[in-house]
Amino acid sequence: MDNDLINTISGKDVIMAYGRGRRSYKEHVGPESSCSGLFWCRYCLFFLNLIVWAAGIAMICLGAWTVANGAGLKLFDQLLNEPSYLLIGTGVAMVIVGVYGCVASVKVNAWGLRIFMLVVIALFIVQVVLGAIGFFLMDDLRTDMSDIVRKAVVYYRIDNNLSRDEDMNALQIDFKCCGGHSFSDWEANILYSCNSSSALARCGVPKSCCRGTRDAQCGYNVREATEQYTAMFTYTEGCIVTLLKVIKRHVSIVAGLAFSVSILEIICLVLANIIIKNTVYHRKLLPSIG
């Protein structure tokens, strides 16, 4: 019987009730108590919180990937850093909730379970709000990214902004893309325009667009030929197109994780509520049980 004693919000000794009366309790307490519904509720809650913990780790990894993806995304630091840190923060919160839920399910502490339920509800609301914000801001993100790349292309090697030029090069190299929406966007740059006075750069693309080798002349005059011929030597898909594919793929992963975790959180709330309701005071009952 001592194994069934736990602490509740008042710190008093109570016992998990398996029925509504003393007779029901006497029939179920003992070696067979591990087969009770309450036992399975506790350990289902434990394993569900392990899954929430794992999903939180996955979200942290996705956010960290965006932050630490080298110089390839440095051009969009002002756009992607904040969402990435929000993703990491949400993942950390999920890890904490998962660990806390595991402990609360094992300890069967009524106060702890109530706090757990409040935290899960708060996390659920935050996830819904962030999901809605992300959905409605996708078009704005696409527009802002297009504007940044267009400016980087137009002023490439023009205004001596070496940092931005290096970021543009890194973007094209890391994501195997060229220009904004296509390699033909380089026509907007006066050095790479087909009307340029530069014999080497005219009708060409930067060497960071080249496939494989990147010697000094690999991108020269490549836009004078057909796109099929150009594609043999340089990337032709625009960086915005490539990035949106990557973002949509990762958004799908995050959305799938968030939806799955939301279902798990609702189940955790139900299980925690069942455990709390079945944890009752038996201080007066204990002396009368023979």
Q: Could you write out the DSSP letters of every residue in 110-141?
A: HHHHHHHHHHHHHHHHHHHHHHHHHHHHHHHH
The pLDDT tens digits along the chain (290 residues) read 344 433 433 333 334 433 444 444 444 444 334 335 677 888 888 999 999 899 889 888 888 877 776 556 788 877 777 778 888 888 898 899 999 888 888 877 778 888 888 988 988 888 888 778 777 777 788 888 899 999 999 999 998 899 999 999 999 998 999 999 999 999 999 999 998 888 778 899 999 999 877 676 788 888 888 888 888 889 999 999 998 888 888 777 777 878 888 888 889 888 888 887 776 444 334 344 44
Cα–Cα distances (Å) from 152 to 69, 133, 197, 286, in that order, read: 19, 28, 21, 77
pLDDT of the residue at 31: 37
206/219 Cα distance (integer angstroms): 6
pLDDT of the residue at 70: 57
Within a 10 A sphere around the Cβ of 70, how many other Cβ atoms?
A: 9
Sequence-distant (≥ 6) Cβ neighbours of residue 90 within 8 angstroms: 56, 59, 123, 126, 127, 130
Report how far Cα 114 is from the mean position of its chain's Cα atoms: 27
pTM assigned to the model:
0.66
Domain ranges, ordered by start, for the chain: 40-153+258-283, 154-239
Report how far Cα 248 is from the mean position of its chain's Cα atoms: 12
